[in-house]
Amino acid sequence: MWGLCKGSGSRPYQTVIDTTGPAYRCSCPSRKFPCKHALGLLLLWAADGAAVPEGEVPEWAGQWLAGRHERSERPREAGGRTVKTVDSAAARRRAEQRAARITAGAEELEQRLADLLRGGLASADRGGYGPWEETAARMVDAQAPGLAGRVRELGAIPGSGPGWPGRLLEECALTHLLDRAWLEVERLPEPLAATVRTRVGLTATVDAPPVRDRWSVLARYDSWDGRLTTRRTWLHGAASGRTALLLSFGAAGRAPQPGPPAGTVIDAELTPHPGAGQLRADLGEQFGPPVPGAVPPPGGPVADALAAYGRALTDDPWLDAWPVTLTGVIPGPVPDGGWQLADADGGSALPVAPAALARPALWRLAALSGGAPVTVFGLCGHRGLTPLAAWSPEATGAVPLT
């Protein structure tokens, strides 16, 4: 998309936008990015597509677009070669130093957990959040952000309502399992070892071949943990049958990279991260703008969803939830204050996860269903399902529930 904007100078500013990026270029001197000219052009286009008619690409716009296209091609050809050309010896030394620090951290955490169980979880209730926060800081120092995150969550459990001792023991045990796995990571088979490294907090080296597909963007939502905004985008590829998760981050209140909007379909390449049971991927080149029409992945009754979660646990025992599609389920509140998704043609139901119960989107789901079966995409975990998107004859396209 391109346009000319009359500014204060004698020559109009030349503004070009690549909507697949999105990326912007403008001949104005503004240091804001994107500049007001590009934003104005986008607003015009968003308000009324006809305001920006099709036309022949002028030279100044064509050059830039061609350049962009070329640049986006180049890294693919270069592939892993660029990665390997860095000084491998120095990199290996740094990696070893970090691994040693993490190992020290994991041992310290093991000690902390053993002390806790020796004295009893009942004391964790009295200690408050302070000791956990301190341990989490120690894990950050040990360069193990994954362990630090788990420790912070442990600190929140004693205040999480009835049944907390059982939940705290579960999470302590899984943290212990991760510690042990890290301490003996060399003995683990490679996919599981990669999973353990990712769980501990090491950044995975992504060198798998990219997968090109028409990806349905099933859901996109942000979460904020007080430090970082994390944007999660769930995709499903029609041909590959893969489900993938894109992550992007925004620090200190900044918005993360926009990414493709929910409910659309993108023709793009994804590069999966390594590790057993890992769905994370990086978005590579996009071959055209997002178009509406996201379709749900193939699904089944609620029992299938729980079975899928169970199978995924064999690859990654630390998984809290697994993406599933439920077909033919009727959502609704149940007498004890919770919600369920019940098979329309059977007596089985899956509860909605407690963390999702406060969402107004549940009422949107109930309204959409009207007591009739719908298709729901969500995350199925040990505490229930978190619905993310739904499809019904009542509405065109995917209805976001985030």
- Site residues, another protein (CB under 8 A): 110, 113-123, 165-166, 168-170, 172-174, 176-177, 302-303, 306, 309-311, 313-314, 317, 330, 332-335, 340, 342-344, 346-351, 360, 363-364, 366-368, 370-372, 382, 384, 392, 394-395, 399
Which is nearest to 125 in space by CA: 99, 97, 160, 172?
160
Nearest approach in angstroms of CB 43 to another protein is 14
The answer to whether the CB of 285 falls within 8 A of the CB of 258 is no
- Per DSSP, the residues of 237-304 read ETTT--EEEEEEEEETTPPPP--SPTTEEEEEEEEEPPSTT--BEEEEEESS--EE---PPP-B-HHH
> For residue 128, what is the DSSP state?
-
Q: What is the CA radius of gyration of the chain?
A: 24
| Alpha carbon of residue 198 to chain centroid | 14
CB closer to another protein out of 66 and 395 = 395
Nearer to another protein, 210 or 299 (CB): 299
Q: At 22, is the secondary structure helix, strand, or coil? A: coil
For the bound state, the minimum distance from the C-beta of residue 19 to another protein, rounded and expressed in Å, comes to 20
Select 279 or 399, whichever has its Cβ closest to another protein: 399
Considering only CA atoms, which of 216, 44, 263, 76 is closest in space to residue 17?
44
Q: In angstroms, give the least distance from the CB of 51 to another protein.
A: 15
Name the phi and psi angles at 382, rounded to 5. Answer: -75, -15
Q: Which residues pair with 213 in a beta bridge?
A: 268
Distance in Å, CB of 123 to another protein, minimum: 8
Q: Which is nearer to another protein, 132 or 215 (CB)?
A: 132
Which of 177, 96, 172, 97 has its CA nearest to residue 135? 172
Q: Which is nearer to another protein, 237 or 323 (CB)?
A: 323
Largest CA distance in the chain: 79
Shortest spacing between CB 116 and another protein, in angstroms: 8
CB of 327 to another protein, least distance (A): 14
The sheet with strand 2-5 has its strands ordered as 2-5, 13-18, 23-26
- Alpha-carbon distance of 290 to 5, in angstroms, equals 27
Query: What are the tokens at 65?
Result: 């677009």
Alpha carbon distance 111, 108 (integer Å) = 5
Helix (H, G, I), strand (E, B) or coil at 33: coil
d(CA 168, CA 56) in angstroms, rounded, equals 64
For residue 318, the minimal CB distance to another protein (Å) is 9
Q: How far is the CB of 54 from another protein (least distance, A)?
A: 22
Is the Cβ of residue 158 or residue 210 nearer to another protein in the bound state? 158
Shortest reach from residue 46's CB to another protein, in Å: 12
Edge-to-edge strand list for the sheet holding 384-391: 339-343, 321-333, 374-381, 384-391, 399-400
Cα distances from 189 to residues 95, 98, 272, 274, in angstroms, run: 20, 21, 19, 13
Residue written as token pair 């003995």: 187
> Among residues 217 and 368, whose Cβ is nearest to another protein?
368
Minimum Å gap between C-beta 332 and another protein is 5
